[in-house]
Amino acid sequence: MHQLTIAEIMRGLRDKQFSSVEITSHLLERIQQLDNQFNSFISVTGDQAIKQATAADARLAKGDAPALCGVPIAHKDIFCTSGVRTSCGSKMLDNFVPPYDATVVDNFQQAGAVSLGKTNMDEFAMGSSNESSFYGAVKNPWDIERIPGGSSGGSAAAVAALLVPGTTATDTGGSIRQPAAMTGTTGLKPTYGRVSRWGMIAFASSLDQGGPITRTAEDAALMLSVMAGPDKKDSTCLDRPAQDYTASLGDSIKGLKIGVPSEYFGEGLDSEVGAQVQAALKAYEQLGAELVEISLPHSKLAVPAYYVIAPAEASANLSRFDGVRYGYRCENPADLRDLYMRSRGEGFGEEVKRRILVGSYALSAGYYDAYYNKAQQVRRLIKQDFVDAFDKVDVIMGPTAPNPAFKLGEKNADPVAMYLEDIYTIATNLAGLPGMSIPCGFAHGLPVGLQIIGNYLDEARMLNVAHQFQLASDWHQQTAPAAQ
């Protein structure tokens, strides 16, 4: 049963081929048996999951069950869950048990989904390798000596290891798409504001966005249909009604214009990754699409602009963790200053401290205009590049990451090399556009992701384009060796 997709589980439950309790119990047993080698979960909520599955079976028996009723999922440990620890991968929140559910979590509860637990992540979503977690690094099911990508590495690894068919995740600069690429899964970052951020612990408020990681585009559409929608509790959430993203999956893509940015195929791209992406683009041509070469001239400025804006926002958001109200508190502080300094110094990891320092510097008197304000001006130029491109094309495609998954510890000593892992994904966040990664082949024996970028609020078309490729290929059906 662990090889079933969300769509197949939904059909199986309704056809009474198995019960929610049966598949939930099966996956919980797999997590217990296998996850010690992946470390993809921080918390497993087995008792709660069985209760939810039992309730789902009762609703299914009555015939009034909502869409995802009885389907097992897991949540990235950045979404607040009532009565269940929400750590954000940090010592700072190791003891934090929220009294409320995030809107995304509540949406899945209303849809009848069963939560198996909380997945591992880079601390406060800061990282591209899932090595900065207080709970230890996550390992890639394709090679447990390699990283799964980050920051949503636990979510991606859990799906790739067939421990759960779908997970929630978040994307600030590529943290859904990059781990999806490195684990051979399907990951989708919606348009900024499409999914509520209420109850999602903030990293960079103008960039963060929740989305799903699944095995197929069809499953991503099913999960997004539940996640998306307006929320009065989140002023940045768009007042657009939820929709059925599966409705247009079967539409033809003949005549589709695919923009191919020349900047995404230059220096720094692994040759085998580039070859697999080019092969995927040729496959789209065979499906009737037209390739159009485009330019995103300011894309080279995306990484430096992002690493001013994101740390600046992080330094403000993380100022609330002071050892006073909740979270980690140092022992026997000498005075208030000592309480602040030691609680934050002991509670935060190295990467989080690095970004707080960079962000505080960029926002300091005399440097705001030189750094933060200038980065926001560059952000507007990057957005305009996409606006101009979408006047000519329907979607944009290229590599998700410049290389396949690298060895654990390989880039820890070089933060800049780690930051460049998101070179192709960051611009999408700066512009607020939707983007996704789907499996498109293998390089050096490891998965490669094809990135699809859509126009604003055009997730339905993006999912349709991804689904049509998956109907014509089987890359998304390949199973990681450690998951078999």
Q: Are 87 and 94 in contact (CB under 8 A)?
A: yes
- Write down the catalytic residue from 151, 155, 225, 315: 151
| ∠ CA 209-30-160, rounded to 5° | 40
Render the burial of 454-475: b for 16+ CB within 10 Å, e for the rest: bbbbbbbbbbbbbbbbbeebeb
Distance CA 204, CA 312 (A): 8
Q: Catalytic residue at 76?
A: yes
Give, in degrees to the nearest 5, the angle at Cα 294 between 290 and 295: 165
Q: Reduced to 3 states, what is the DSSP secondary structure of residue 158?
A: helix
SS (H, E, C) 416-481: HHHHHHHCCCHHHHHHCCCEEEEEEEEECCEEEEEEEEECCCCHHHHHHHHHHHHHHCCHHHCCCH
Q: Does residue 5 contact residue 219 with C-beta atoms inside 8 Å? A: yes
Q: Active site includes 87?
A: no
Distance, CA of 366 to CA of 392 (rounded, Å): 41
DSSP letter assigned to residue 402: S
Asked if the peptide bond before residue 151 counts as cis, ω within 30 degrees of 0, the response is yes
Instruction: Report d(CA 436, CA 125) in Å as an integer.
Output: 18
State the catalytic residue, choosing from 19, 43, 76, 196: 76
DSSP state of 137: -
Marked catalytic residue, from 43, 87, 128, 175: 175
* Tally: H helices and E strands in the chain: 15, 11
User: Is there a catalytic annotation at residue 175?
Assistant: yes
Distance CA 89, CA 231 (A): 26
Q: What share of the chain is helix, strand, coil (3-state, %, to 5)?
A: 40, 15, 40
Catalytic amino acids? 76, 151, 175
